[in-house]
Amino acid sequence: MNTNEAREDVSLEKKIEKNEKRGEAKNKKQAYGRLSFAALVGIVVITIMISSLFGAVFGFMSAGAVNIFSAQIGQKFHQYFPNITLNNIDPKVSRQQVVIEDSAIIDVVEKTSPMVVSIVISKNVPNIQNNLGDPWGFFNPFSTDPFGSDGTESDQGSQKKTIGGGSGFFITSDGYILTNRHVVDDSQAEYTVVTNDGKEYEAKVLARDPVRDVAVIKVDGSDFPIATLGNSDNLKIGQTVVAIGNSLGEFSNSVSRGIVSGLRRNLNAGSGYGETERLTDIIQTDAAINPGNSGGPLLDVNGNVIGVNVAVAQGAQNVGFALPINQTKRIIDQVKDGTKISVPYLGVRYIVIDSAVQKEAQLPYNYGVLVLRGNKFTDLAVVPGSPADKAGVVENDIILEIDGKKINQNNQLGDAIAKYNVGDKISLKIWHKGEIRDIQITLEERKQ
């Protein structure tokens, strides 16, 4: 073998040895790779198992904590509400759906209903006979009587019939009842009071306030439940109120609930018979007030009377009105004291001044009232011998203020005077012949 062949053999052996080493390294890398993947899978599996184990443990622990917390809540609930359970609700507890405010309203109604009465108005009316005997009168569009009567009176005289109804409430335990004047305004009618328990009493009208729509009637008896009078000056728009009364003159002690929708409203109320009356500083409410509710109480959530239901807006929904109870306290006090109902007056005829009147008459003020005579010769500007006459008020004077308050559309002179009593002294600021004067006037009783 020559030298070159020997070298080739050595080189071949080295190559083979080198290739074998490379193969072993490759196999080791593959083995390491397979080992790393298996380890990773094992770690993941172990992690999942550990997480599941601890999740179960903490789950049981959480469930136990919730159960303990729920048990504590349940113990407290049963401590304060022993009669209520999830499976058995005591019917005496007004059920869970009744909220606190509903319970308060229910309490008010139960507390105050016994002092509310229905007033039945009856009168002797002539009997009517049908001389024509028209069986189709009910359908005759030109008939004045839908039942076919020709409107002639029979020879059978008259009979007592119920002609209307209203409401009221006891203000004394010996039978004094407050209601609206327009409920008991007919001096020829008879009035029967029906209490909440169905008992009937003949009523006598003691007093009718000629300015406010308020009257007091009385029934014989004692120990009647009486109303608690609140303070209407503290009312707030939006507060809850309850009205109780003889709705439609048929449904006694009907209850409606609402809120105070407005305060210090002024309006002219009509009776449906052509009679009108000015109501001032009254309460507006959306509690349902229907014919027959007149004279019934408007109550707050404490059961205090804060108003006397008086009117409802025709052609509107849920627009009712009530006299503030503070406006009625004067007549209540006078009746209780046994004194005559007296109304103060000033004794002037006037027109209310606004910007238009100021411009037309070229007056120095756009508020107040201008003392002015009427259209008739007898319509004097100042009543002779009246408090205004005695104080020196004359025609064309402007009354600007009463006791420091401006006279305007929202504080009219007649309304302001009605708040005082006979004998009260008031201060008037007037514009008299180009000069401002302050005068003192003692109010006297208005002659009926």
In tens, the pLDDT along 271-301 reads 544 455 678 889 999 998 888 889 999 999 9
The encoded tokens of residue 138 equal 């009910």
pLDDT surpassing 90 at residue 411: no
Q: Residue 382 and residue 346: Cα distance in Å, rounded?
A: 9
The reply to whether 70 belongs to the active site is: no
Pick from 15-19, 132-136, 176-180: least confident = 132-136
Both structure tokens of 327:
């406006």
Helix count (H) and strand count (E) of the chain? 6, 20
Does the pLDDT value for residue 178 go beyond 70?
Answer: yes
Q: Among 209, 213, 281, 397, which one carries the catalytic annotation?
A: 213
The token pair at 97 is 């759906």
Q: Could you tell me the two tokens for 3?
A: 């030298």
Assigned token pair, 270: 């009509």
CA distance 174 to 417: 32
CA 85 – CA 394 distance, rounded (Å): 79
Q: Kindly tell me the burial class for residue 112, based on how many C-beta atoms sit within 10 Å of its own C-beta (0-12, 13-18, 19 or more).
A: buried
Report the C-alpha gap between 117 and 81 in whole angstroms: 37
Say whether 213 is catalytic: yes
Catalytic residue (choose from 118, 254, 294, 342): 294
Tell whether the model's pLDDT for residue 211 goes beyond 50: yes
pTM of the full structure: 0.62
Q: Confirm if 167 and 245 have CB atoms less than 8 A apart.
A: yes
Q: Which of 149, 167, 182, 232 is catalytic?
A: 182
Compute CA distances 64 → 50, 59, 60, whole Å.
Answer: 21, 8, 6
List the structure tokens of 46: 């172990």
β-pair type (344-345, 444-445): antiparallel
Q: Please check whether residue 235 is in contact with residue 260, taking contact to mean a CB–CB distance below 8 angstroms.
A: yes
Known catalytic membership, residue 182: yes
Q: DSSP strand E in 187-250: where?
A: 190-194, 200-208, 215-218, 240-247
86-96 tens-digit pLDDT: 445 455 444 55
- Cα gap 436→425, rounded to integer Å: 19
pLDDT digits (tens, 9 = 90+) for 306-354: 999 998 887 777 899 999 999 898 888 888 887 667 778 899 998 889 8
Burial class (CB in 10 A: 0-12, 13-18, 19+), 333: exposed
Phi, psi of 440 (to 5 degrees): -105, 135
Mean pLDDT throughout 17-45?
51
In tens, the pLDDT along 102-141 reads: 788 899 999 999 999 999 999 887 775 444 433 333 333 3
| Residue 167 near residue 179, CB atoms below 8 Å | yes
Average pLDDT score over residue span 42-66: 47
> What is the three-class DSSP state of 90?
coil
Continuous segment of H or E residues that includes residue 443:
none
Residues 260/218, Cβ–Cβ less than 8 Å? no
Q: Residue 333: helix, strand or coil by DSSP?
A: helix
